[in-house]
């Protein structure tokens, strides 16, 4: 897990550096339209990507997979990566 730094101001005015864990979370929302009727959207969360690049690569793979057509159905997907401390 990658560590980031943040500054903390103490009561006496001194600044201390504290290391905080940084991870990336992938959030994916899917909805299918079958025969013109939309299904209820579902949301999935995948956690613990150590870098933004690895999260974005996974998101792109999911987007590519969702582009594949299934006869009689349309898949709508929204995939985003969010930084979490």
Q: How far apart are CA 69 and CA 83, in angstroms?
A: 31
Q: Are 4 and 23 in contact (CB under 8 A)?
A: no
Confidence at 37, pLDDT banded by 50, 70, 90: very high
- pTM for this one? 0.67
Res 8 pLDDT > 50: no
Q: What is the band of 78 on the pLDDT scale with cuts at 50, 70, 90?
A: very high
Structure tokens given for 79: 């995939």
**DSSP 3-state assignment of 50?**
coil
């Amino acid at each position: 897990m990658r560590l980031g730094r943040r500054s903390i101001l103490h009561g006496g005015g001194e600044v201390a550096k504290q290391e905080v864990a940084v991870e990336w979370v992938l959030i994916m929302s899917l909805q299918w339209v079958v025969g013109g009727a939309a299904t209820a959207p579902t949301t999935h969360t995948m956690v613990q990507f150590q870098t933004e690049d690895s999260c974005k690569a996974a998101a792109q793979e999911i987007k590519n997979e969702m582009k594949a057509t299934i006869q009689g159905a349309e898949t709508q997907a929204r995939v985003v990566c969010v930084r979490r401390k």
